[in-house]
Structure 1
Amino acid sequence: MKFQTEIELPQFCWKTGYRKRNLFMGSCFTENVGNKMAGLKYPVDINPFGILYNPVSVANGLRFLLEKKKFAKNDLIQNNGLWHSFFHHSRFSSPDAEETLDAINNRIESSAEFLKNAGFLFLTFGTAWVYAYNKTGQTVSNCHKIPEKEFRRFRLTPDEITENYKQLFSEIRQINPEIKLIFTVSPIRHWKDGAIENQRSKSTLLLAIDQLVNELGKENCDYFPAYEIVMDELRDYRFYADDMIHLSNSAINHIWEKFQMALIDEESRNISKKVKNLITAVNHKPFNRQTKEHQQFLTESLQKTQDIQNRFPYLNLASEQDYFLTQLTEIKNIQFKL
């Protein structure tokens, strides 16, 4: 007997890996998977505007990258002693306006270049509910604790999302004709909307994505069923964090394994095992780093790093090589002084 319903994963026409750049944008679920790839040294750029929850905010961010927008002080607002952008997460906010602008504009510049050469664009939508600032009518990505009465709240329709992204994807392909688009819907419930409205919101997103995949064609884009994996494979509160809303590490790891098998090529999965061992070696904390055994460990780890780098020159293991070299140099300097 099977004691778990299992989601059948799509047969994707193409896969990513160490030879492809991957841009992740969207909800915090995007960061869960994106950070898994980053931790294994895959070439990724994750949320250049910070966490974004609704499709309009994600689309706004992508258009800013396409036009390489330069934010100015009149694009910011000040609230509670901080300067904010309505198009960015609060991680970009600062008491100093110039500091906020530097962080925003530097990230747009680097991510715009990344998008031009990206092989994959992963978009995760969290909610179909959006907030529009009453003074401008502009849909915002973050209210930054400004009173709710200053915003109009409404739910997008599937057609509104679809029409927006059909045009947007056409614009993206003008600068990057080969890019592949993967949609996901965040399995994290927006409980403040209530159980019923959360389901309606998620359903709106699912309908819109289904329509987009059908109209844009599976040779260009597809859908990864993260939402369904959590709802049907992980139907147990042991897969949730203490707040019973966000996912536990075991749930994230389960989705990551599914993601790897579905969307990462076999060569890269094999390389990632070697990279993971290197990361473990970097994180190793010896009781006494001046022992011969530890020096031998560092020497062997450095050699393994150099061997992997030489065999797969498209990897970026510079920081790992620097770490092992620095550790060996410091130990030799200490011994010389003694």
Structure 2
Amino acid sequence: MNFTTKIPIQKSNFPIDYSSKIVLLGSCFAENMGEKFEYFKFQTVVNPFGIIFNPVSLSRIIEKSIQKDYFTENDIFFHNELWHCFDVHSELSNPDKNNFLISLNKLIDATHLQLKDATHIITTLGTSWVYRNVETDKIVANCHKVSQKQFTKELLSLEIIQQSIESIFFNISVINPNCKFIYTVSPVRHIKDGFVENTLSKAHLIAAIHQKIGAKTQNTNYFPAYEIMMDELRDYRFYTEDMLHPNQIAIDYIWIKFFENYIQETEFGLMNAICEIQRALKHRPFNPNTERHQNFLSSLETKIIKIKEKLPTIQF
């Protein structure tokens, strides 16, 4: 007897392996997936400019990185004892103005190279609701706790979202024509916008993605993370205490669905070996000086050496 609706997932026609270079961009769910890739020691970059929820802001920061359009003093502002930038996440904010600009522009250079070298770009869109700065008339990635009076709230149209997705695809393809794209919609519910409004927001994202990837099936895929959460995991036991974010069980489940269909099956054995090492590294003995534990450490070191012989880039 089956107690859940299974979401059909088509296997990727450009699966990921350990030679792949993966860049994950977008919402906090991109961070969840990035942690999984990092755990299994894939070559991964996650949100160099921090979490970005909406497609317009994501498109803008990618375009700046591709074109090496560096930040200037006009792009930053001082608020609550820190320098901020409306195009990046608050985690990058800095009390020193010069250091802030230097760090942002170093990220521009680093992200340019990462996008140029990437084999797979995984983009997770979070919301169609955006905040527009009244003074500049620009959509911001983060409000940085600036007074809400300085912003107007609006819902992105399908056309604008499609343009943003197309811009991401086009700009990256200019410097990296062989890159593959995986799009997904975050399963996190943005209930602060309202229940109906959250559904409308996700619907806009899903519709825009599917309209844009339809003509690019050779190098684009859609992974149904949102649909898995809404149907296969339709139960509050799969949410964190806020009842909005998927909990670790749900994240693990969605990850399994992803790697079963988007990672080369020949890599599964190596992933299992790395998982064994990761678990062993977390082991904390009661008596570390015993012969048994020393043998355990010796065996673990041998396993690590064997992995590094296959993949010299891996660090534990």
- Which residue of the partner structure matches residue 334 of structure 1? none
Offset at residue 223 of structure 1 (A)? 0.6
Offset at residue 197 of structure 1 (A)? 0.8
- Other structure's SS at 1:302 match: helix
Long gaps (5+) in structure 1? 321-338
- Which residue of the partner structure matches residue 300 of structure 1? 299
8 Å contact from structure 2 (residues 84, 93) kept in 1: yes
- Aligned pairs for 1:200-239 (under 5 A) are 200-215=200-215, 217-239=216-238
8 Å contact from structure 1 (residues 131, 154) kept in 2: yes
Query: How high is the TM-score relative to the length of structure 2?
Result: 0.96
Task: Measure, in 1, the Cα distance between the counterparts of 2:36 and 2:134.
Answer: 39
Task: Measure, in 2, the Cα distance between the counterparts of 1:87 and 1:167.
Answer: 16
Q: For structure 1, which segment, 25-34 or 156-165, has the greater mean C-alpha deviation from structure 2 after superposition?
A: 156-165
* 1:263 corresponds to 2:281: no
Q: Deviations over 1:239-274 (max 9, x none)?
A: 000011111110011000000101011122221111
- Other structure's SS at 1:13 match: coil
Offset at residue 62 of structure 1 (A)? 1.0
- Which residue of the partner structure matches residue 116 of structure 1? 116
Letter matched to residue 105 of structure 1 = N
- Aligned pairs for 1:109-258 (under 5 A) are 109-215=109-215, 217-258=216-257
Identity of aligned pairs, percent? 39
Q: Deviations over 1:275-303 (max 9, x none)?
A: 11111222222223222222222222111
Offset at residue 101 of structure 1 (A)? 2.6
Task: Check 1:263–1:172 CA distance in 2 against 1; reply closer, same or farther (3 A cut).
Answer: same
Query: How high is the TM-score relative to the length of structure 1?
Result: 0.90
Q: Deviations over 1:89-130 (max 9, x none)?
A: 110012222332333233332222111111100111111111
Task: Measure, in 2, the Cα distance between the counterparts of 1:167 and 1:150.
Answer: 27
Q: For structure 1, which segment, 90-99 or 136-145, has the greater mean C-alpha deviation from structure 2 after superposition?
A: 90-99
- Other structure's SS at 2:192 match: helix
- Which residue of the partner structure matches residue 313 of structure 2? 316
Q: For structure 1, which segment, 223-232 or 169-178, has the greater mean C-alpha deviation from structure 2 after superposition?
A: 169-178
Task: Measure, in 2, the Cα distance between the counterparts of 1:296 and 1:3.
Answer: 45
Letter matched to residue 204 of structure 1 = H
Task: Measure, in 2, the Cα distance between the counterparts of 1:164 and 1:33.
Answer: 22
- Other structure's SS at 1:44 match: strand
8 Å contact from structure 1 (residues 305, 317) kept in 2: no
Letter matched to residue 293 of structure 2 = H
Task: Measure, in 2, the Cα distance between the counterparts of 1:96 and 1:191.
Answer: 35
- Which residue of the partner structure matches residue 45 of structure 2? 45
Letter matched to residue 65 of structure 1 = S
- Aligned pairs for 1:28-107 (under 5 A) are 28-107=28-107
Letter matched to residue 241 of structure 2 = D
8 Å contact from structure 1 (residues 13, 218) kept in 2: no
Task: Measure, in 1, the Cα distance between the counterparts of 2:88 and 2:174.
Answer: 25
- Which residue of the partner structure matches residue 16 of structure 2? 16
- Other structure's SS at 1:142 match: coil
Count the aligned residue pairs: 316
- Which residue of the partner structure matches residue 282 of structure 1? 281
8 Å contact from structure 2 (residues 11, 262) kept in 1: no
Q: For structure 1, which segment, 95-104 or 228-237, has the greater mean C-alpha deviation from structure 2 after superposition?
A: 95-104
- Other structure's SS at 1:258 match: helix
